[in-house]
Chains A and B, each alone.
Chain A
Amino acid sequence: MATYKETFAKLDRAALIPFFVIGDPDYATSLEIVKTAIDAGADVLELGIAFSDPIADGVTIQKADIRALKAGMTVKQALQFIKEVTDYKPVPIGLLIYYNLVYQYGHDKFFADFKAAGGSSVLVADLSIDDADEIAGPAANAGLETVFMVTPNTADDRAKLIAEKTTGFIYTVSLLGITGARETLSKKVGPLVAKLKSMTDVPVCVGFGISTPEHAKEVAAAGADGVIIGSKVVKMIEDNLGDTEKIKSEVHSFISSVRAVL
């Protein structure tokens, strides 16, 4: 599997990175939706493993976590899911996970199994750069890249430290807060992306609140290497539960429309 740097370098535009919770609303439907997103032009996938207490997520993704858990999703099944996705098409997969799930699975084994399933990188939602060493070794040993977040309120010296320790891409957010679709984006995105790009040569991706093709275009124009879209597509699942075809067609047309403007 190519590194993110190579993957992003091959594109002459910002990468399109949709986010889904694995197994939402159930394993089989979720797999169809993710394949649809790939067919519609996703360059990279960000996939989350459902957790009982997702403190970094807004209400849309919380509900997705609950749906997946109710449908019986487990960490082991999530790894199987990733394998099925990468067998379908070898897109890079970034994982979003809460730390306790890694902790209970066992660090070395978790990263090794995720790598074996075809995964590329890991972002642990509740692990800051201060404790990055708890995963850096096992992730590197498994041949995985790490993704860390920088937010608009991150101090410059911290942002530098994060940039130094990140091997995959930097995930920066367009606004303070948790995940969730928003009407408008913060004016801070442009300067933040520019600042980060001056600190590192790993790709810089932007997420949180991106919910229209215009937002995506704006973020790309601000210099982002990738655009992460989560709540907007997850909401399409929530709004059309029971109608898989409708979910797929909405996800397909939305992702294609974003892809068209990048």
Chain B
Amino acid sequence: MENKGRYGEFGGFYVPEVLIPALEQIEHAFYKFKDDPQFVAELDNLYKNYAGRPTPLYFARRFSEHVGFNVYVKREDLLHGGAHKVNNTLGQALLAKYMGKTKIIAETGAGQHGLATAMTGALFGLETKIFMGVVDIERQSVNVHKMKLCGAEVISVQGGTGTLKDAINDALRYWTSHVDDTVYIFGSVCGPHPYPTIVKHFQTPIGVEARAQSLEILGKLPDVITACVGGGSNSIGLFSAFVDDKDVRIVGVEPGGRGLATREHAATLVAGKVGVFHGAKSYLLQDEEGQVYETESISAGLDYPAVGPEHCMLKDSGRVEYVAVGDEDVLDAFELFTKTEGIIPALESTHALAYLVSQKGKLPAETNVIINLSGRGDKDVGIVEKNRPVE
């Protein structure tokens, strides 16, 4: 491989030999096409006319009044498909097309990346298979149905706890025996090189737009930016544009599940230790011997024991603060945001909203915050209803 894909000590490509040629091919295609004028023009056109970019930066007045500082919401929830995931799948599927491949596969947790892949598979006429854990299939049934409507085959993964990590295991295994004609479209900034780099590249419009919008609306940069961190793609997309702006405080919010004192959470950066998993060196939730934990979160999209390597580096350097919020606080914030703004947020994104609620009384009133609303919560209404029945 031309580049080892390291972020400090993190990242790399820890995979069986059989996958190396496939990763090399993707890396090669990425560097060949990412700045190719035709590729860029085609992708820009799709971002604008298919996905709905640029997304607005919206001042959430009533929510701001509640928390006591100014909250600006980057509306990735308005994108086609209902989440930031389409930024990435358009880019990777277009790359697959430029590579002359006819088949794509993807893993999915919440079903958002699966849906975004299925949509783009339909758009480009690529045969699409989505690997999804049995538990997730049940808790995100609407997305499963949508994927099938787009013509994708949804493969139910039985192994482990039937969640995202098991779906990735099986997608990697499938890819191993079908590398000749199939491209694996990875859903977040984790996994082996070159995925952390590729997915980041396709998610950078979030931050680039938000930074320009902040300068336009506020006349200056925000004081704080925040996003939820599962694998870490929507957050890297936002953070990357601000990392060099030393006065901007950056906060990543992880799923605290039922509490960090239990094992039922997925707060990898806050509570994990360094290991090697799914092709990369990163913080990891694991036992002392290195067996990887089954994680737990109310949001399927954050239910993952590892995290993108660049986040690990940003944590160690201290540039980004990582915190965890628990399921109950997330549900509170979900209700509050929906009632004050009339916007139903994805439970994943709601973690960042819950963090802002926790800062009530702690941040000065003139503080300007940008939060990335990575997705909309239609898919989560059933889960919220189960946990917090509406009278």
Q: Mark B282-308, 1 if CB is under 8 A from A, else 0.
A: 001010111110000000000000000
B262 at the interface (CB under 8 A from A): no
Q: Which of A18-26, A85-93, A152-160, A237-245 contacts B (4 or more CB under 8 A)?
A: A152-160
Q: Are B172 and A51 in contact (CB under 8 A)?
A: no
Q: How far is the CA of A104 from the CA of B277 in the complex (A)?
A: 12
A62 at the interface (CB under 8 A from B): yes
List, in ascending order, chain B residues with CB within 8 A of A6's CB: none
Q: How far is the CA of A76 from the CA of B279 in the complex (A)?
A: 24
B201 at the interface (CB under 8 A from A): no
B276 at the interface (CB under 8 A from A): yes
List, in ascending order, chain B residues with CB within 8 A of A126's CB: 14-16, 276, 279
Q: Are B289 and A130 in contact (CB under 8 A)?
A: no
B55 at the interface (CB under 8 A from A): no
Interface residues on A, range: 35 or more
Q: Are A128 and B13 in contact (CB under 8 A)?
A: yes
Q: Are A55 and B173 in contact (CB under 8 A)?
A: yes
Q: Are B176 and A177 in contact (CB under 8 A)?
A: yes
List, in ascending order, chain B residues with CB within 8 A of A222's CB: none
Q: How far is the CA of A101 from the CA of B288 in the complex (A)?
A: 9
Q: Are A151 and B4 in contact (CB under 8 A)?
A: no
Q: Are B17 and A148 in contact (CB under 8 A)?
A: yes
Nearest-CB residue, chain B, relative to A180: B177
A234 at the interface (CB under 8 A from B): no
B232 at the interface (CB under 8 A from A): no
A257 at the interface (CB under 8 A from B): no
| Cβ of A104 to closest chain B Cβ, rounded Å | 4
List, in ascending order, chain B residues with CB within 8 A of A53's CB: 160, 165, 169, 277-278, 292
Nearest-CB residue, chain A, relative to B166: A53
Q: Are A131 and B12 in contact (CB under 8 A)?
A: yes
List, in ascending order, chain A residues with CB within 8 A of B286's CB: 100, 104
Q: How far is the CA of A109 from the CA of B260 in the complex (A)?
A: 31
List, in ascending order, chain B residues with CB within 8 A of A27's CB: none
A236 at the interface (CB under 8 A from B): no
A199 at the interface (CB under 8 A from B): no
Q: A74-B289, A101-B290 are in contact. Are A151 and B276 (CB under 8 A)?
A: no
Q: Are A51 and B291 in contact (CB under 8 A)?
A: yes
Q: A53-B277, A62-B159, A99-B276 are in contact. Are A176 and B289 (CB under 8 A)?
A: no
Most B C-beta atoms less than 10 A away, residue of A62, A104, A151, A162: A104
Q: A100-B284, A177-B177 are in contact. Are A149 and B18 (CB under 8 A)?
A: yes
A69 at the interface (CB under 8 A from B): yes
A125 at the interface (CB under 8 A from B): yes
A142 at the interface (CB under 8 A from B): no
Q: Are B18 and A130 in contact (CB under 8 A)?
A: no
A173 at the interface (CB under 8 A from B): yes
Q: A62-B159, A100-B275, A126-B279 are in contact. Are A69 and B17 (CB under 8 A)?
A: no
Q: How far is the CA of A72 from the CA of B37 in the complex (A)?
A: 56
A178 at the interface (CB under 8 A from B): yes
Q: A101-B290, A105-B290 are in contact. Are A55 and B159 (CB under 8 A)?
A: no
B363 at the interface (CB under 8 A from A): no
Q: A55-B172, A100-B292, A176-B177 are in contact. Are A155 and B14 (CB under 8 A)?
A: no
Q: A74-B289, A178-B173 are in contact. Are A128 and B277 (CB under 8 A)?
A: no
Taking a contact as CB atoms closer than 8 A, the residue among B1, B16, B288 that contacts A56 in the complex is B16
Q: How far is the CA of A22 from the CA of B191 in the complex (A)?
A: 28
Q: Mark B161-191, 1 if CB is under 8 A from A, else 0.
A: 0000100010011001101100000000000
Q: Are B20 and A154 in contact (CB under 8 A)?
A: yes
Q: How far is the CA of A141 from the CA of B144 in the complex (A)?
A: 52
Can you list 5 A-B contacts with CB-CB less than 8 angstroms, sorted by A residue number? Answer: A52-B160, A101-B290, A103-B276, A176-B179, A177-B18
- Which B residues lie at the A interface, using CB under 8 A? 1, 4, 12-18, 20-21, 159-160, 165, 169, 172-173, 176-177, 179-180, 274-279, 284, 286, 288-292
- Which A residues lie at the B interface, using CB under 8 A? 51-58, 62, 69, 74-76, 99-101, 103-105, 125-131, 148-151, 153-155, 158, 162, 173, 175-178
Query: Can you add 14 more A-B contacts, CB < 8 Å, to A149-B18, A154-B21, A176-B18?
Result: A51-B290, A52-B160, A55-B169, A55-B278, A56-B176, A58-B173, A74-B289, A100-B276, A100-B284, A125-B16, A149-B17, A153-B179, A154-B17, A158-B20
10 smallest CB-CB distances across A and B, nearest first, come from A177-B177, A104-B290, A100-B290, A56-B16, A151-B18, A149-B17, A52-B291, A101-B290, A52-B292, A100-B276
